[in-house]
């Protein structure tokens, strides 16, 4: 498959990835502080909306599988327009709602935004899984998608902060909403008009979201993926705390995050080529071990260690490419040919596991509270151990379990 075709597919990954960062990071503070909703009410609304977002994905996969690829075109076009409008309404709320009205507005728009984003994302993942029956091509499909997504995350982390410094948070979010809508519509149009079409599948048991659970290879891969996803989610949850309170370098947060994500994008071609040579399973395990070797040094960093932490961000970012590109490609490989009409059901459960991992990673905060860590105060080894030590331990467990995982690839597995 030509690079131009893969690029046409991958470009939608950019706006889809940039959508969630402002919602998770900026919206809570914007509604709670700037709009006066308050922490308790904002937190309650966020919890309920995220709970819905976590449990709905398997059912969305079932809905998507009931449509043919022709139906996916209308589904994606409609959902993209609706998501653009929902994001704009969420980030540019009316000014005279009052606290009860503002809480209802936030809850309704969050639920709608989460649902539409999941609907597009699961369809998009299923589209990529059906582009080719060649395992190596599936790896490249995932690499293009995740590479675009990483640049979307960088854009989402940099653009609002720069705009907020110059014009204030309300103007920054409004500009972001417009930018997101333009990029989402462009990405969707390019996918629908220029990307390769997904293979048509003879329909059999489509629409049964429990079908993937009967696949032993999926259950084993999902277990490894979930443990590794928790290992990735914990540092994502604690990164701002670690940079500000352990390293005491809050002013460099944007640069550290950008370095991490850009390194991840630059590392994707390496993991793609390595997977071609060694297989995806073995390459992913190497990526896990490489990530551990790079990230564990964060435990030893003292306040002010800017250059050392930049090195950790760069090396662990390079390893991130393996976590992004190889697991979804492995998932596409293990879906039996007779179940290809249920591709979205597989990716619906996959998305559910990713969001569940984020929820579980949130438990790191009360764990730190039990160790007497207080945000905004200088932190000791307790924060460093939970931020870097615990994720590395989980990655080692996942890497060990991966050794017994069937490859799901056309060529025999090579033992690592």
Mean pLDDT along residues 283-304: 93
Q: Which of 197, 219, 239 is the last residue in one of the domains?
A: 197
Residues 269 and 344 in one domain: yes
Q: Does 234 share its domain with 105?
A: no
- Kindly state the average pLDDT of the residues 134-157: 86
Residue 225 main-chain phi, psi, to 5 deg: -60, -40
The answer to the question of residue 414 being in a domain is no
Q: Which residues contact 351 (CB under 8 A, 6 or more apart)?
A: 57, 61, 118, 121, 122, 125
Query: Where does the pLDDT of residue 8 fall: very low under 50, low under 70, confident under 90, or very high at 90 and above?
Result: very high
38-52 pLDDT, tens per residue?
767 887 888 788 788
- The DSSP H or E segment spanning 157 is helix 135-167
112 Ramachandran zone, left/alpha/beta (phi>0; psi -120 to 50) = alpha
Residues 68 and 117 in one domain: yes
Left if phi > 0, otherwise alpha if psi is -120 to 50, otherwise beta: which for 32?
alpha
Domain boundary among 197, 231, 247: 197
For residue 385, tell me if it sits in a domain.
Answer: yes
Q: What is the pLDDT of residue 203?
A: 54
333 and 362 within one domain: yes
User: Which of 145-149, 289-293, 378-382 has the least mean pLDDT?
Assistant: 378-382
In this predicted structure, the answer to whether residue 183 has a pLDDT above a threshold of 90 is: yes
Q: Considering Cα of 258, then 264, then 265, then 270, what sign does the dihedral take?
A: positive
119 in the same domain as 7: yes
Residue 188 lies in a domain: yes
Do residue 176 and residue 302 come from a single domain? no
pLDDT at 77: 94
The CATH number linked to 340 is 1.20.1250.20
Q: Could you list the residue range(s) of the whole structural domain that residue 132 is in?
A: 1-197
pLDDT tens string 13-36: 999 999 887 777 678 778 877 888
Which of 69, 267, 37, 40 has its CA nearest to residue 150? 267
Asked if residues 72 and 198 have their Cβ atoms less than 8 Å apart, the reply is yes
How large a percentage of the chain has pLDDT more than 70?
94
Share of residues in the chain with pLDDT > 90 (%): 38
141 belongs to a structural domain: yes
Q: Is residue 202 part of a domain?
A: no
Look at residue 328 and tell me if it is in a domain.
yes
The last residue of one of the domains, among 144, 166, 197, is: 197
- The answer as to whether 415 is a domain residue is no
Whether residue 229 is found in the same domain as residue 192: no
Q: Is 119 helix (H, G, I), strand (E, B) or coil?
A: helix
pLDDT for the residue 358: 80
Nearest to 15 by CA among 171, 178, 163, 129: 178
Number of folded domains that form the chain: 2
Do 359 and 252 belong together in one domain? yes
Dump pLDDT digits (tens) for 238-274. Answer: 887 888 889 999 888 878 888 898 898 889 889 989 9
CA distance 218 to 350: 10
* pLDDT confidence bin for 378, thresholds 50/70/90: confident
Is 237 part of any domain?
A: yes
For residue 264, give the nearest of 237, 242, 291, 297 by alpha carbon: 291
Say whether pLDDT at 416 is over 50.
no
């Amino acid at each position: 498959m030509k690079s131009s075709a893969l690029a046409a597919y991958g470009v939608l990954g950019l706006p889809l990835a940039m959508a969630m960062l402002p919602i998770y990071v900026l919206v809570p503070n914007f509604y709670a502080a700037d709009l006066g909703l308050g922490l308790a009410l904002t937190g309650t609304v966020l919890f309920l909306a995220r709970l819905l977002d976590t449990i709905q994905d398997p059912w969305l996969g079932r809905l998507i599988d009931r449509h043919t690829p022709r139906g996916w075109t209308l589904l994606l076009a409609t959902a993209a327009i609706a998501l653009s409008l929902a994001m704009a309404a969420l980030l540019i709320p009316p000014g005279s709602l009052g606290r009860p009205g503002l809480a209802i507005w936030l809850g309704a728009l969050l639920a709608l935004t989460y649902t539409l984003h999941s609907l597009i994302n699961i369809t998009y993942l299923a589209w990529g899984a059906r582009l080719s029956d060649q395992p190596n091509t599936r790896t490249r499909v995932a690499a293009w998608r995740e590479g675009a997504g990483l640049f979307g995350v960088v854009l989402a982390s940099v653009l609002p902060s720069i705009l907020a410094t110059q014009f204030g948070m309300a103007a920054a979010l409004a500009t972001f909403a417009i930018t997101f809508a333009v990029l989402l519509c462009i990405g969707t149009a390019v996918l629908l008009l220029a990307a390769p079409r997904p293979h048509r599948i003879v329909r059999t048991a489509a629409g049964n979201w429990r079908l993937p659970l009967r696949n032993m290879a999926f259950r084993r891969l999902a277990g490894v993926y979930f443990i590794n996803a928790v290992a990735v989610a914990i540092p994502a949850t604690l990164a701002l705390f670690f940079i500000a309170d352990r390293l005491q370098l809050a002013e460099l947060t944007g640069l550290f995050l950008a370095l991490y994500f850009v390194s991840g994008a630059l590392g994707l071609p390496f993991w793609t080529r390595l997977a071609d040579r060694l297989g995806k399973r073995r390459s992913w395990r190497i990526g896990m071990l490489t990530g551990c070797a790079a990230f564990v040094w964060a435990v030893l960093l003292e306040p002010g260690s800017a250059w050392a932490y930049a090195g950790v961000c760069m090396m662990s970012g390079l390893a991130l490419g393996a976590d992004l590109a190889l697991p979804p490609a492995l998932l596409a490989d293990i879906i039996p040919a007779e179940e290809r009409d249920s591709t979205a059901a597989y990716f619906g459960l996959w998305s559910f596991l990713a969001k569940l991992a984020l929820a579980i990673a949130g438990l790191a905060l009360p764990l730190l509270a039990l160790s007497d860590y207080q945000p905004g105060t200088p932190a000791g080894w307790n924060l460093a151990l939970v931020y870097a030590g615990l994720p590395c331990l989980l990655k080692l467990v996942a890497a060990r379990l991966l050794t017994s995982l069937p490859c799901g690839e056309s060529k025999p597995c090579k033992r690592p």
